[in-house]
Amino acid sequence: MENYKKIIEDIYFEVKNVNDIGKVANYIPELATVSSDNFGVNMTSIKKESFGVGNFDKKFSIQSISKVLSLTLAYRFEGAKLWNRVDVEPSGNPFNSLLQLEADLGKPRNPFINAGALVICDILISHLKNPKEDFLAFCRELSNNPTLSYNEKVAQSEKISGFRNIALCNFIKSFGNIKNNVETVLDFYFYTCSLEMSCKELSEIFLFLADDNFTTHKGNKVLTMSRAKRVNAILLTCGFYDESGEFAFRVGLPGKSGVGGGIVAIHPDKYCIVVWSPKLNKKGNSYKGMLFLEKFTTKTASSIF
């Protein structure tokens, strides 16, 4: 960790001064209320050493980053059966696209686009007694952090503006790949997206994908090594919408972004690093977040390649 601190700090200040050509997401009205000046970075090593700069301790809307947590819980319930309902191929299309679903007969390309996450939410609803409470409890156990919670305002804001998600969910239902009530699935999905965490909290909760020996504070293993490897593989190939190739090319780590401006990147066996800067590039990924991580893995020569 000591070696990384100065590098993180130097790159942070270098990127902070770069002219940000991105735009804050405003299709979810509540997200547009966040100040675009926020910029934070936090790294946590598998030895649980942590280092943060800037707004690393401030909670923000993790949005699609929650798709990794919902996938993890569904994978625990379903094992390999899960892949009958959701594929593991990059989509090459925007995160909220309806296009491929028609040809693919309602089977989403992967669990990290909205269509895939809706099916994952449907699967969780079939397994959980109280989906919202149980999912939150799972996240709290994973991070040993009882303060984690949903942001009610963000969830409601998505609900009234989520026309594409409503269309997606109904469309998938028409193919029979949503088993529960569409409103129930959408409601649960919107809440999962509204989870709030800081860069520090995110870099802690995702340690289970970096550390093969990770167990929760209750002594539970989250995923087997083989399953964690598979989730990391999907993160590398599908974690950044239709810019996943670009992220692998420039940064070289498995990771996931969200339209709240957060990016989580994982170096298996080493660390988890999280950047938050709300302005997004045209593909929906944090402009400064990607820039920071590109410089970071280059300077530290610590990509997986």
Contacts with ligand GLU, residue ranges (CB under 6 A): 63-64, 95-96, 114, 158, 165, 193, 258-259, 284
Instruction: Provide the b/e sequence for 186-200 (b: ≥16 CB within 10 Å).
Output: bbbbbbbbbbbbbbb
Whose CB is nearest to ligand GLU?
Answer: 64
Cβ distance to ligand GLU smaller for residue 30 or 211:
30
Among 259, 264, 274, 275, the active-site one is 259
**Minimum distance, C-beta of residue 199 to ligand GLU, in the bound complex (Å):** 16
Phi/psi zone of residue 281: left (φ > 0), alpha (ψ -120 to 50 degrees), beta? beta
Cβ distance to ligand GLU smaller for residue 45 or 114:
114
**Minimum distance, C-beta of residue 165 to ligand GLU, in the bound complex (Å):** 5
**Minimum distance, C-beta of residue 278 to ligand GLU, in the bound complex (Å):** 12
Measure the CA–CA gap between 27 and 20, rounded to whole angstroms.
20
- Residue 259 designated active-site: yes
- Residue 64 designated active-site: yes
**Minimum distance, C-beta of residue 77 to ligand GLU, in the bound complex (Å):** 22
**Minimum distance, C-beta of residue 8 to ligand GLU, in the bound complex (Å):** 24
Cβ distance to ligand GLU smaller for residue 85 or 256:
256
Measure the CA–CA gap between 5 and 182, rounded to whole angstroms.
47
C-alpha distances out from residue 138 to 94, 145, 148, 268, Å: 29, 10, 10, 22
User: Inter-axis angle of helices 182-193 and 163-174, to 10 degrees?
Assistant: 140
Among 4, 241, 271, 287, the active-site one is 241
- Residue 295 designated active-site: no
Among 4, 12, 150, 189, the active-site one is 189
C-alpha distances out from residue 187 to 68, 166, 193, 201, Å: 18, 10, 10, 24
Residue ranges of E strands in the chain: 23-24, 40-45, 50-54, 60-61, 149-150, 195-197, 255-257, 262-267, 271-276, 279-280
Burial class from Cβ neighbours inside 10 Å (0-12, 13-18, 19+) for residue 120 reads buried
158 Cα distance to chain centroid: 17
* C-beta of residue 190 within 8 angstroms of C-beta of residue 159: yes
**Minimum distance, C-beta of residue 53 to ligand GLU, in the bound complex (Å):** 24
Among 24, 41, 67, 256, the active-site one is 67
Cβ distance to ligand GLU smaller for residue 99 or 225:
99
Cβ distance to ligand GLU smaller for residue 150 or 271:
150
Cβ distance to ligand GLU smaller for residue 51 or 95:
95
Tokens representing residue 19 in the block: 């002219």
Work out the end-to-end distance of the chain between its first and last CA atoms, rounded to an integer number of angstroms. 20
**Minimum distance, C-beta of residue 81 to ligand GLU, in the bound complex (Å):** 25
- Residue 157 designated active-site: no
- Residue 241 designated active-site: yes
Going 229 to 89 to 204 to 131, the CA torsion angle's sign is negative
Cβ distance to ligand GLU smaller for residue 8 or 120:
120
| Residues with active-site annotation | 64, 67, 189, 241, 259
